[in-house]
Amino acid sequence: MSNQLMLYGLLGIAGLFVIVIIAYVILMKRMNRSDVRQAMALKAGVETKGFSADVIYQKLYMIYIKIPGLKRYLIKLRRRLEIINIEDEYLTRRQSAKILTNALLIIVPLTLLIIAFAKQNTLLMSILLIFEIFMIETLIDGMVDKIDNKLLKQQIDFFAEIRHAYHECNMVEEAIYQVSQDDEVEVSRQAEKIYEVLISDDPEAELEKYYDIAPNSYLKEFAGISYLTREFGDRKDQNGASLYLKNLNNITQEMQIEILKRDKLDYVFQSLSVISAVPMLFIEPVKNWAVSQFSFTSQFYDGKGGLIVQTLILILTFICYVLIRKVKDNSSTNANMKNTENPWQAKLYKNRIFKKLVDLLMPKQGTKDHRKITGLLKDAASKTKIEWLYVNRIVLAVSTCIISIFLFYQLHRISVQYIYEQPTTDYNILGQMSEIDEKKAMKTTEKHNYFLNQFKGKPDTTQKQIENAMKHSAYYEEATDKEIETDAEAILVKLKVVNGEYFQWFEMLLSLVFAFLGYMAPIWVLMFQVRMRQLDMEDEVMQFQTIILMLMKIERVNVEMILEWLERYANIFKEPITKCVNNYESGAWEALEELKNDVSYIQLIRIIESLQAAVEKIPIRDAFDELDTERAYYQEKRKESNERLISRKGMIGKVIGFAPMVCLFVGYLIVPLVVIGMLSMTSAFDTMSSSM
């Protein structure tokens, strides 16, 4: 086994070396083509060497965009990076190519390992290779999240510099412009864009456009507060401090809390995705070890039971992998990214025949089921349209049914193949058979196979018929009646297995049941996502309190403006707040009362009641006076809430992440060893008792 592994390793290294040489030669030949000059023109005025990393990444970008499989990931990747790198095409291309290249450098060696360890099991190898497609998305999301977190940390220093610049010039737009010229970091591009918004002819309209492309809510808050301060002027609070700088400090504190939250979540989940996927790589090594050490287990691992447990582990791993991503998901760029791409679901829905099938199954607009599904999509913050959801459900159901039928066929084929190929002998409890014993056992199997082929397809065959055929064959010319009877009995047992292995009606029924489970799976995933989002309710309401705290002391701010700001930054409660904003003109009190009836979270209801008081009775500052006086308390409560959120998510993530590993060692190794060992010992004792 060690020599084979060494050979596979050398072949893998040699293959990678050849790939690197070929890639190098191709790059050498194409460096002077027009696409390279196009990439170089994007970085005008910057001189680089012929083989600098920037030029290579630009060239790789042009190569990746031409490859159908990689193009999908590249476009999806750059859509997220475009939000961070505003109008910087060169940097977007370089980062996109770099991230995708790093992902491929991990995936390619992993592919070679999978082929090396699972090449004897074509089904397992195919599933593992397909699973790598999902691994690429995880790697890409993780690398983009690092850039997003980096931007968030840069904003801390950026806002500190804004404070100093504002003290000097006392003008919002000039302070932003001055700081944006200092560095070449990602946040400077955002600052330049905000400056362009503030000095534009229609800053309010341009600000709305910026809200759609801002990478995180804190930059939205900064842009909005800067606009209001520029339009209505700055004010001093009771202590004589600048209200603009105080609001800037509030945003900074919110960012610091969010950075700590993300860092802790990354620490808790940093290995869980890998841990949930690793058991798939150990299925074949565990099987080989168990069979080599305990030969009697081959009847399980090479038969139906082994394939069933393998399939269950693979399905469990896939489910846990998806759920881990849903639990951890905290990417703001991913949440803010508009669904402008044309996914395969949309292309499939355009097919006239498939569209009729989807429309037939999809609930009609205006019905209770339609409202329920659309509400579920909104509560889960999913960008998927209801038509695409039903495309996913139908495709998954059909695929599950086909795969189930194929697996049942494989189970029957493996059972028959095991009968025809495994050595016929009594199993040893420990170790393997010697070479001589194995050859003798295989000769016995070949003799049995001759009679199996003779009586195959004849379910009414009796042991007497088999014995008569054996007596007239060359295999048993010198055999005794006792040997013929013993072998005939063994052949009859095998024959019943061979004749009984065919696709049956209840297997078709099970395939339909699995198809129904596949049809319901997207809905269950959405429900799980809603459940996870409910854990973030308290965090979002506390962010609402911070927004109100910043707005309530600005002149000309009214309840409608506060609601518009809350709608802009809402995620979980976006739908009811949007409904309230749309109905506000027809009656402020009534719209807020309807909003209060639509939500059930008590902290948000208290905010709504304060807004109702501010509509008719008291000023906004008085309605939310406790937010200012109890600011320190709310901050500590926010930190404690984040700790509980991280703890709960971490506990859920660990249970999900380690489930496949537990299933592998308990269900695929320990239980088969114990159960089959006990059965073998019982059979051995029965044989000894009968012979005595």
pLDDT in tens, 170-188: 888 888 888 888 665 778 8
- Predicted confidence at residue 438, as pLDDT, reads 66
Contacts of 592 (CB under 8 A, 6+ apart): 559, 580, 608, 611, 612, 615
Task: Show me where the domains of the chain are located.
Answer: 12-119
- What's the rounded mean pLDDT across residues 277-284? 79
- What are the tens digits of pLDDT across the range 543-593? 888 888 888 877 778 888 888 888 888 877 888 888 888 888 888 888 888
Q: Which of 113-122, 217-226, 660-669 has the least mean pLDDT?
A: 113-122
The model's confidence at residue 487, banded by pLDDT at 50, 70 and 90, is confident
Predicted confidence (pLDDT) at residue 431 exceeds the cutoff of 80? no
Instruction: Report residue 458's pLDDT band, with 50, 70 and 90 as the boundaries.
Output: confident
* pLDDT recorded at residue 512: 92
pLDDT over 70 at 27, yes or no: no
Which among 647, 657, 380, 399 has a CA at the least distance from the CA of 525? 380
pLDDT confidence of residue 29: 58
Place 137 in a pLDDT band, splitting at 50, 70 and 90: confident
Whether 429 shows a pLDDT value over 60: the answer reads no
With a pLDDT cut of 70, the percent of the chain lying above it is: 83
* Cα-based angle 421, 425, 431 (whole degrees, multiple of 5): 95
| pLDDT value of residue 1 | 42
Whole-number pLDDT of residue 516: 92
Return the ∠ at Cα 21 (arms to 16 and 24), rounded to 5°: 125
Instruction: Please write the tens of the pLDDT for every residue from 346-385.
Output: 888 888 888 888 888 888 887 888 888 887 887 776 778 8
**12 band by pLDDT with thresholds 50, 70 and 90:** low
Q: pLDDT tier at 513 (50, 70, 90 boundaries)?
A: very high
Stronger pLDDT, 671 or 632, i.e. the higher one: 671
Give the per-residue pLDDT at 33.
Answer: 53
Predicted confidence at residue 575, as pLDDT, reads 81
Rounded CA-CA distance 198/217 in Å is 18
Q: What is the mean pLDDT of residues 250-274?
A: 83
CA dist 128 to 285, 410, 662, Å? 14, 17, 19
Q: Residues 246, 627: contact at Cβ < 8 Å?
A: no
Residues 284-341: pLDDT tens digits? Answer: 788 888 887 777 777 788 777 888 888 888 888 888 888 887 787 654 444 444 444 5
Residue 661 or residue 83, greater confidence: 661
- Residue listed under structure tokens 């506990």: 651
H helix count then E strand count, the chain? 33, 0
pLDDT at 332: 45
For 155, 222, 645, the CA distances from 255, given in Å and listed in that order, are 8, 11, 17
Any residues with CB less than 8 A from the CB of 342 and at least 6 apart, and which?
none
48: pLDDT confidence band, cut at 50, 70 and 90? very low
Mean pLDDT of the chain: 78
Could you tell me which of 229, 209, 120 has the C-alpha nearest to residue 166?
Answer: 229
Contact 80, 337 (CB under 8 A): yes
Tens digits of residue pLDDT in 185-226: 778 888 888 888 888 888 888 888 888 888 888 888 888 888
Listed range (42-46, 491-495, 624-628) with the worst mean pLDDT: 42-46
| Closest-CA residue to 281 (of 314, 250, 306, 248) | 314
Number of other residues whose CB lies within 10 A of the CB of residue 180:
22
Whether residue 525 has pLDDT greater than 60: yes
